[in-house]
Amino acid sequence: MSSVAVIDYGMGNLHSIVKALQHAAPEVDVACVADADAILRADRVVFPGVGAIRDCMQALNQSGLSAVIQQVAESKPLLGICLGMQALLTDSEENGGTPCLDVFAGHVVHFPEALTDGEGNSLKIPHMGWNQVHQLHPHPLWKNIPQDSRFYFVHSYYAQPDNAAVMAATTQYPEAFTCALAQDNVFAVQFHPEKSQAVGLQLLKNFLHWDGHVL
Amino acid sequence: MSLAKRIIPCLDVDNGRVVKGVKFVDIRDAGDPVEIARRYDREGADEITFLDITATHDNRDTIVHVVEQVASEVFIPLTVGGGIRTLDDIRRMLNAGADKVGINSAAVSNPEFVREAAERFGSQCIVVAIDAKKTSLPGEPSRWEIFTHGGRKPTGIDAIAWAKKMVDYGAGEILLTSMDRDGTREGFDLPLTRAISEAVTVPVIASGGVGNLDHLADGVLEGKADAVLAASIFHFAEYTIEQAKQHMASRGIEVRL
């Protein structure tokens, strides 16, 4: 039986992601773990997160999990979700500037103030709801997910990677921003697959069957 | 290509059972919130909101079990409102699998609670529910006031100022109910919805008064709502959520189909 570790570092509830992973692939052993050894023993690792980046990084640094995640990023399939994606960049401008894990070179920035759509209606922050995900390249995690499918988002900051080659998908709000990153065995998404109904479950299923190689 | 406007069915739950009833041919137990939630998920609901109207504190655990069960098989955002008064209430709902909680009268009696809740759990899960009623006389500029206790108790607080204050305190979303329209099936209070939506930077969910599918579309097009919430038109199977979305799409609104 293959296993997936959901990193539990005290940021938000993991109920949804655990249930969704179990639902997506009942044959996989899903466990919430806070312990470095257990994370390193698992076949795959999910790095979730909600809330503020400063609290997130503080929890990771104090528990020693920062180094563990960096090690996982070098060795086995890793899926970052929402704040778990943002934490993989070099730094975030949230909370007055917060150094992050630097798995992907780049920054996390806030949506510009006073956004408007084409008709002059103001766009709300957080970017909350179902928006289209435009896949930029084929990838095992996009298997059986139609181009421009809608996933559920809720966030006010987004990733700006230095290297455009790691961009896996973009979403428009109103300009295109990077909503998914991919590099070798690491995949990260700004949206919540565990809250995105059928397409979300499909992405989780794809991750749970992924060997960490890109096509 | 842009963000879809959301359709959110709302279930009023009393002691773990849906009240006001539902009427679906394929549902065996019309009072079972889990079965109804499953049905709405299949029809394409963008989120589901549970409003716990259980009167006694002792029976509050029933809503926790409902949320746990729904969250184990329905993978869309879930909001729980009603009786949320402490950080512990919020933690229990989030641990049960809710994604957001709705705070209503506790925010009015203690606005700091919203700030504490947002700091602790993040703005993304704090929905402030506002019950507003028009208090201006005909001919006067429109003014709406916050009411509590199901619309019976005036507070003297201006609805627009209150919505802005709640966003400053950390509300990630506003659930706006017109107490004048709630239950009337005459449509949303569109001037109220628009005034609040244009006054705040966070998404606004319009609620209260939906009687047909045009009302939903009007809430978005004229009320400038980011999401529309309705109960009875879906419960009584007058319309499916899919029909509602098709109708909104036909009026040029971007929806998730």
Q: Taking residues B49-59, what's their average pLDDT?
A: 83
Domain assignment present for residue B89? The answer is yes
Distance between CA atoms of residues A18 and A197, nearest Å = 14
Closest residue on chain B to A198 (Cα): B75
Query: How confident is the model over B190-210, as pLDDT tens digits?
Result: 999 999 999 999 999 999 999
Neighbours of A53 (CB within 10 A): 24
Model ipTM over 0.90: yes
pLDDT at position A113? 84
Instruction: For residue B32, give both structure tokens.
Output: 């079972």
Lowest mean pLDDT among A43-52, A117-126, B121-130, B175-184: A117-126
Q: Taking residues A182-202, what's their average pLDDT?
A: 98
pLDDT at B88 over 80: yes
Quickly list DSSP for A173-200.
Answer: SSSEEEEEEEETTEEEESS-GGGSHHHH
Residue with tokens 């009268």: B105
**Which one-letter DSSP state was computed for residue A154?**
E
Q: Taking residues B112-122, what's their average pLDDT?
A: 93
Instruction: For residue B93, give both structure tokens.
Output: 């709902």
Query: How confident is the model over B138-157, as pLDDT tens digits?
Result: 999 999 999 988 778 899 99
Task: At B205, give phi and psi (nearest 5°).
Answer: -100, 125
pLDDT at B57 over 80: no
CATH of the domain at B244: 3.20.20.70
Supply angle C-alpha B62, B64, B66, rounded to 5: 75
Distance between CA atoms of residues A89 and A100, nearest Å = 6
Beta bridge partners of B227: B6, B205
Domain assignment present for residue B255? The answer is no
Domain assignment present for residue B1? The answer is no
Query: How confident is the model over A56-81, as pLDDT tens digits?
Result: 999 999 999 999 999 999 999 999 99
Q: Taking residues B90-110, what's their average pLDDT?
A: 93
Instruction: For residue A12, give both structure tokens.
Output: 């938000």
Q: In this structure, are residues A116 and A123 in contact, taking their beta carbons and an 8 Å threshold?
A: yes
Domain assignment present for residue B256? The answer is no
Check residue A89 and give left, alpha or beta (phi > 0: left; psi -120 to 50: alpha).
beta
Domains with residue ranges and CATH for chain A = 3-208 (3.40.50.880)
Read off the pLDDT band of B21 (50, 70, 90).
low
Q: What percent of chain B has pLDDT over 90?
A: 81
Contacts of B222 in chain A (CB under 8 A): none
Task: Work out the minimum CA distance from B99 to partner chain A, whole angstroms.
Answer: 9
Contacts of B165 (CB under 8 A, 6+ apart): B111
pLDDT at position B209? 94
Nearest by CB to B75, which of A126, A153, A197?
A197
Q: Based on the structure, what is the number of domains in chain B?
A: 1
Dihedral of the alpha carbons of A58, A61, A63, A65, in degrees to the nearest 10: 120
CB contact under 8 A, A152 and B94: no
Read off the pLDDT band of A28 (50, 70, 90).
very high
Residue with tokens 């005036």: B154
Distance between CA atoms of residues B254 and A129, nearest Å = 12
pLDDT at position B236? 83
pLDDT at B56 over 90: no
Pairing mode, strands B126-134 and B100-103:
parallel
Query: How confident is the model over A83-141, as pLDDT tens digits?
Result: 999 999 999 999 899 999 999 999 999 999 878 887 778 899 999 999 999 999 999 99
Closest residue on chain A to B117 (Cα): A51
Q: What percent of chain A has pLDDT over 70?
A: 99
Task: At B158, give phi and psi (nearest 5°).
Answer: -70, 130
Contacts of A195 in chain B (CB under 8 A): 75-77, 99
Residue-range definition of the domain harbouring residue B40? 6-250
Chain B residues 127-156 with CB within 8 Å of chain A: none
pLDDT at A34 over 80: yes
CB contact under 8 A, A129 and B4: yes
Q: Does B72 touch chain A (CB under 8 A)?
A: yes
pLDDT at B1 over 60: no
Q: Taking residues B27-54, what's their average pLDDT?
A: 91
Compute the count of residue pairs across chains A and B with CB atoms less than 8 Å apart. 100
Task: At B182, give phi and psi (nearest 5°).
Answer: -55, 125
Q: In this structure, are residues A59 and A22 in contact, taking their beta carbons and an 8 Å threshold?
A: no
pLDDT at position B206? 98
Rounded to an integer, what is the distance from CA B59 to the centroid of its chain?
Answer: 22
pLDDT at position A13? 73
Domain assignment present for residue B209? The answer is yes
